[in-house]
Amino acid sequence: MLIRQGIVVTHRATARLDIRVRGETITEIAPEIAPEQDEEVVEASERLVLPGFIDSHVHFRDPGAPQKEDFFTGTLAALAGGVTTVLDMPNTQPPTDSRAHLVQKAAHVATKAVVDYGFYFGATDTNIEEAASVAGEVAAMKLYMGSSTGTLLVTEFSPIYRHFTTFPLDKPIAVHAEDEQSLKYFGGMGLQDHNQARPPLSAQIALSRAIAIAEKTGRRLHVAHTTTWRELELIQEARSKGVRVTCEVTPLHLFMTEEDQHRLRNFGKVNPPLRSRDDREALWRYFDDIDTIGTDHAPHTREEKDQPYSQAPSGMPGVQTMLPLLLNAASSGRVKLEEVVKRCVTNPIQIFGLKDKGTLEIGKDADIVLIDPNHEYVLADDQMLSKCGWTPFAGTKIKGQIQQVYLRGNLAYNQGNCLSTAGSGKAIRYSK
């Protein structure tokens, strides 16, 4: 197959190029490639051509809570959003916290996925050696320093330190950096404002601890969903001292503030919370220092969200809306599309060691997204393929529509239709 004359965007440049795909792989990229006899030609001169996005932070609820999402609906939403690889978090039921649970989860989802996928391994107080023994089969470890959805939690120094020293040092430990003791203190005050109930201070305390231990142990640390100015200052300072720390932001925190949580009430509840305008602006100001954009796609049903504030679970869906929102940010001049590709493709591949994935590179999987850059539409709940069926961004006008998505050379999504069958998504292989 030859994708001809598209406006090809990578982290390096934007250029009009031809891309040849053989089987599942990109075999040639050049300003002009002559089609071979009988070769399928896709005319893309009116299209942006992007590498398939990698969402390195999703919660697909499978196994355990299929009423919110399962691996088919989650990956379907991903595909429609131009995301061809997802890394799924371990707070499923059972949690992905042992080799047996990892094997069980892999078998359980294998027949459901329509995009490629990998898993995080969940840290507990006691699974230190077991985590290290499966490191080569997962994208990273996830360590919850503060409680959120599910039961995974590690707050004591000793297990944190032991995980940091025992898990392979070059394999990232991703931390949910909110400090449990302070969350309990503020959470116990009966506040209804989520940014006060789980304040920036809690993030600062937890992140300071994580960075100090990473510095001492020389290990790689990945900070999930940074949301505050102070965290970004801490990360910058740590890096200047040579600490190996990378960090993520979510579209939720890039595009919304605590005012949106007040408007959306429980539907805008997420851990860590939507923050102040100042904090949100800091995320954009420090954008150069941010390594990855991951959605924290965390679907909950309307019924669950409609409960009283204290009972309503935290989290919002997002895997389908990340690329559209970032296209908007690019067309409004807030960020360069190359910089988006770097954070949604190039850097996640490097950080998590995703072996066969690339940013439209020869020899790598042909995961390719074709976009009509001029088509305008408005995001709506009924477009969402996630089982939860809502988006906090309903009503947002988007410029740029995802038209076709190729997964390893196969046309998997075409103008609103999923063409591939459940099970066509494959487990990722890791280079470290």
Q: Closest Cα partner for 379 from 258, 255, 293, 225?
A: 255
Contact 72, 387 (CB under 8 A): no
DSSP H helix total and E strand total for the chain: 15, 17
CA 159 distance to own-chain centroid? 26
149 touches, from ligand DOR, Zn ion, none (C-beta below 5 to 8 Å by class)? ligand DOR
User: Counting contacts by CB under 6 A, is residue 149 touching ligand DOR?
Assistant: yes
Contact 70, 387 (CB under 8 A): yes
User: Counting contacts by CB under 5 A, is residue 365 touching Zn ion?
Assistant: no
**Residue 116: active-site member:** no
Contact 385, 73 (CB under 8 A): yes
56 touches, from Zn ion, ligand DOR, none (C-beta below 5 to 8 Å by class)? none
User: Counting contacts by CB under 6 A, is residue 91 touching ligand DOR?
Assistant: yes
Closest CB to ligand DOR among 186 and 430? 186
Closest CB to ligand DOR among 148 and 403? 148
Closest CB to ligand DOR among 316 and 418? 316
User: Counting contacts by CB under 5 A, is residue 258 touching Zn ion?
Assistant: no
d(CA 137, CA 217): 23
Contact 344, 292 (CB under 8 A): yes
User: Counting contacts by CB under 6 A, is residue 271 touching ligand DOR?
Assistant: yes
Q: Residues 296, 356, 365, 367: which is the catalytic one?
A: 296
Closest CB to ligand DOR among 59 and 101? 59
Which parts of 97-193 fold into alpha helices (H)?
A: 99-109, 128-133, 157-166, 180-187
102 touches, from Zn ion, ligand DOR, none (C-beta below 5 to 8 Å by class)? none
Report the residue closest to ligand DOR, judged by CB. 315
Task: Say which residue the tokens 């979510």 belong to.
Answer: 250
Q: Closest Cα partner for 139 from 248, 18, 275?
A: 248
Among 296, 356, 365, 367, binds Zn ion (CB under 5 A): 296
d(CA 374, CA 326): 14
User: Counting contacts by CB under 6 A, is residue 59 touching ligand DOR?
Assistant: yes
Q: Which residues contact Zn ion by CB under 5 A?
A: 296
Q: Which residues are catalytic?
A: 296
Q: Which residues contact ligand DOR by CB under 6 A?
A: 59, 91, 148-149, 176, 270-271, 298, 313-315
